[in-house]
Structure 1
Amino acid sequence: MTSRGDDDPAAGHARRLLRTATRYSASRCAALCLVSMAATGAGLLLPAVLGRALDLLLAHAPATRWVLCCAGLVLLLGLLDAVQTVLTGTVDARTTAWLRRRLTGHVLGVGPRATDRFGSGDLVARLVGNAAEAGTTPAARAALVAALAGPVGGVVALGLIDWWLAAVFLAGAPVLALLLRAVSRDTSESASRYQRAQGRIAAALAEAVEGVRTVRAAGTEDRETARVLRPLPDLSRAGHRMWRVQGRAAARAVAVAPLLQLAVVAVAGVLLTRGRLSVGEVLAASRYAVLATGVGVLVGRLAGLARARAAARRLG
């Protein structure tokens, strides 16, 4: 059942709903953002510390302090990752529960008009599945800052090692930016179509269950089955499109990111032969190139946010 709840006013309601949901878990979102940023900072420090330790070891100089710093950073990253996982799960669960309570109370307050407009099955699909997807938005937004800080910090670190390294990377950065923009746009469109098709199936199924005695008495089981599953081709097309969008994004990232990393490492090797970089700095540059091309993390975050926004519009 296609509803009028997916129009522009619903998008405005969805934004307000998500803002209120984010404020509901504001302290935990702030903590998640801080933990994510701390993990990103530790990840950015590690290559530099590793490079310094390697240079000292190659020069047969005392490097115990730097090796211990490396070990400490690795342990800190493991601890922060565990805390980030717990906070993400907590924020997702709290936000989903709040959305379901808020929307269930609203539907019950509206009364029969809600089922007349949307259908009971479609309402259940929105309150259960769509609320769970929309509930991931606050945590995803909080972690997105750190996901963006990683690549930006990697580029800055390359520039601090040698400006040629940052220049080489930035030459290919527009391709990555276009990739991320296309993924966000296409995923949002596909997710909206997928969720609408789910809602139509749920609404038809609920109607069939409510009238199951009449269906049995009339012997129209096959006709009802066909009616319930009529939106299935649309659901399949939207689902396959989502996977194709993410597959194409992953393929492009696999093609572009390694080329940028190789370009940075190649330039670092040339600078090493000219005495402008040390072996440890080449190691650090190779690691920062990987961080700077963190497209996989950003693609995953943006795709998740696109699906969550589509679900929030259906709630709106």
Structure 2
Amino acid sequence: MTGTASAGRTAQTPPGWRGLVGLVRLAPGHAAAKSVCTVVTLGVSLLVPVVAARVVDQVLARQGTGRELATLATLILLRALAEAYGEVAGVSARTGTLAALRHRLVTHILALGVPGTRRHASGDLVTRLTDNASMSARAVPEVVEAVVATAASLGALIALWIVDWRLGVAFLVGALPIVLLLHHLMNRVTSSFEDYLRHLAAIAVRLTDALAGSRTIRAAGTGPREVERILSPMPDLSSAGLRTWAARRAVSWQVPFALVGVRVVILAVAGLGVTTGRLSPGEFLAAALYVPIALGFVQQVDTLMFLAGARAHAGRVIEVLAERPQFRCATSTPADVLPPGPGALSFHRVTVRHEDRTVLDGLDLDVPAGASVAVVGRSGAGKTTLSLLAGRLLDPDEGEVLIDGVRVDSLSRAALRCGVGYAFDRPVLLGRTVRDALTYGCPGTTGADVGQAASVAQAEAFVQRLPQGVDTPLTGAPLSGGELQRLGLARAVVHGGRILVLDDATSSLDTITEAKLAAALTEGLAGRTRLLAAHRVATAARADLVAWLEDGRIRAVAPHSVLWAAEPAYRAVFASVAQVGEGEPQVDEEELCA
């Protein structure tokens, strides 16, 4: 099953705090509002001790306090308003960040193309898009508060130093070990929680695979064994969870205990200053009020532990966003239009590697314009890989692919989509209705074009039998595998283009329907070049030429009848049921108009 290995990769080092702080930029307006409110709140907190100290000293000196009391009341009201609006701004920042993060993540996943998406199983990507992205976005207001609290702590430390330098020294001596301890424990939480999330994703991947193969599991009677396989990461998941809570437990008592000690020492130093006449009672009050502000960053234990966990969540999202698409461009300004031509397709010295395996090795192949060429080879020979290269759904590691003499990597995506159409063995219909699915990516297609494409693909009859014809919602159109394939072919015909690539696109059809379809394609697509990844003898026999693929290279190019008569090894290719090799990229969803 496909996804298990992906989710079971070795955990990478969680990203630094810079990656978590970088999420603030996704909702800059709301984050700025939250920052302003937090700054006002903490700024008022820094001013209140000064005003309160003056009130106390004036009361003791029997002086008027009306002005200072009014100032104190104003500051308290301002703080209340800032806190209230800050909560609203925090929610807005969180939701805005989540929307932007998910949009960026989905866009990036699609931009990675076939090579990039194969690195992650679908269940793993869904986990990153939902839970991991949500928890990362929730951290944005807390990040803002933590940053501002750190600044306020520095301000309060400076204020303590101004009141009495001895208080500043006492604070540094007591707080520095706490900061180092907290940093160590937060790293432990992040590392353990990252392991926890990785094992949780592994379970999601296994479950997704099992659901996709539920009929096979049920038919084989292997349900209990699948349950064990799906839940096999549970011991590691439990271990990672226990390590996470052990670190949190250490934080819950060690940090508060140390904070009490720091407060006692600072207040003792300040009290001694009052007894010796070095400090006034008001200055003692100011020092007492500044101490919790100076310790504010360290005191936010719950927030900091949440950020440590959010850092692990963000790491899984950033890991995907950090991957760069492998596609490269031969020119700095790719052409938006494919120059006119008959549709000749050429592969020159093409090499494609997948992990430690060479799928195609210096392959050379010229597909004549207007011809139908079937690519034949054993399972894993590279047929699907070769098909993906034609429309640049995959880039070769070496060599070049040309359409009418123009390198495909010098063309824009739009130009390639207009020049090359695809039909796959397992098409996925996208859109609301059957019409939407057939015109997906080509919204200006007329009804006549849709009807013509359905006729060519031998789909017209069963589409007309649907409750609302082509306007039937896909959810209300139960389709067989063969009908899905014919709609996939019709979609490729609608897209037009001078080259049509069929990746075993008729494998689910019966012999009679396939024969009718082959005749319709020959007549309806006259003049269009066709490249077929063939697994069936009948498909190869109907092609003009066969490109025999073996060991990553073209062994021979000739009509099927010639190869069948002269090459026993060629006949042996069809001896077993052909299926896509483990090392070849597969395409279940067509990214033709992205």
Normalized against structure 1, the TM-score is what? 0.88
Opposite residue 275 of structure 1, the aligned amino acid is G
Answer 1 or 2: which has greater strand percent: 2
* Post-superposition offset of 1:163: 1.5
Query: 1:149 matched to which residue of 2?
Result: 151
Label 1:209 to 1:114 Cα distance change in 2 as closer, same or farther (>3 A). farther
C-alpha offsets along residues 68-111 of structure 1, whole Å, 9 cap, x if unaligned?
22222222222111222222221111111112122223334556
Label 1:129 to 1:83 Cα distance change in 2 as closer, same or farther (>3 A). same
Opposite residue 179 of structure 2, the aligned amino acid is A
Q: Is the 8 A contact 1:25 1:94 kept in 2?
A: yes
Label 1:127 to 1:15 Cα distance change in 2 as closer, same or farther (>3 A). farther
Query: 2:220 matched to which residue of 1?
Result: 218
When Rg is computed on C-alpha atoms for both structures, the one with the higher figure is 2
Summarize the alignment of residues 43-54 of structure 1 with structure 2, pairs less than 5 Å apart: 43-54=45-56
Label 1:151 to 1:288 Cα distance change in 2 as closer, same or farther (>3 A). same
Find the aligned partners of 1:260 and 1:111 in 2 and give their Cα distance. 55
Summarize the alignment of residues 225-244 of structure 1 with structure 2, pairs less than 5 Å apart: 225-244=227-246
Question: Tell me, what secondary structure is at the counterpart of 1:117?
Answer: coil
* Post-superposition offset of 1:203: 0.6
Instruction: Select which of 48, 67, 70 maps to 1:65.
Output: 67
Opposite residue 208 of structure 1, the aligned amino acid is A
* Post-superposition offset of 1:283: 1.7
Instruction: Select which of 238, 241, 250 maps to 1:248.
Output: 250
Percent sequence identity over matched residues?
Answer: 36
C-alpha offsets along residues 58-77 of structure 1, whole Å, 9 cap, x if unaligned?
33321122222222222222
Question: Tell me, what secondary structure is at the counterpart of 2:279?
Answer: coil
Query: 1:87 matched to which residue of 2?
Result: 89
RMSD after superposition: 2.7
Instruction: Select which of 20, 30, 33 maps to 1:31.
Output: 33
Instruction: Select which of 200, 204, 208 maps to 1:206.
Output: 208
Label 1:18 to 1:281 Cα distance change in 2 as closer, same or farther (>3 A). closer
* Post-superposition offset of 1:128: 0.4
* Post-superposition offset of 1:15: 6.9
Question: Tell me, what secondary structure is at the counterpart of 2:62?
Answer: coil
Query: 1:119 matched to which residue of 2?
Result: 121
Question: Tell me, what secondary structure is at the counterpart of 2:119?
Answer: helix
Opposite residue 202 of structure 2, the aligned amino acid is R
Question: Tell me, what secondary structure is at the counterpart of 1:275?
Answer: coil
Query: 1:191 matched to which residue of 2?
Result: 193
Shifted more, 164-173 versus 26-35: the winner is 26-35
Label 1:5 to 1:186 Cα distance change in 2 as closer, same or farther (>3 A). closer
C-alpha offsets along residues 214-259 of structure 1, whole Å, 9 cap, x if unaligned?
3233332222222221112222222222222122123122111111
Instruction: Select which of 245, 267, 270 maps to 2:269.
Output: 267
Q: Is the 8 A contact 2:150 2:297 kept in 1?
A: no
Question: Tell me, what secondary structure is at the counterpart of 2:277?
Answer: coil
Query: 2:281 matched to which residue of 1?
Result: 279
Query: 1:132 matched to which residue of 2?
Result: 134
Alignment coverage as a number of residue pairs: 313
Question: Tell me, what secondary structure is at the counterpart of 1:256?
Answer: helix
Opposite residue 279 of structure 1, the aligned amino acid is P
Which structure's relative contact order is higher, taking Cα pairs within 8 Å and 6+ residues apart? 1
| Runs (5+) with no aligned partner, structure 2 | 320-594
Normalized against structure 2, the TM-score is what? 0.49
1:311 aligns with 2:313: yes
Query: 1:175 matched to which residue of 2?
Result: 177
| Runs (5+) with no aligned partner, structure 1 | none
Question: Tell me, what secondary structure is at the counterpart of 1:276?
Answer: coil
Shifted more, 213-222 versus 45-54: the winner is 213-222
* Post-superposition offset of 1:178: 0.7
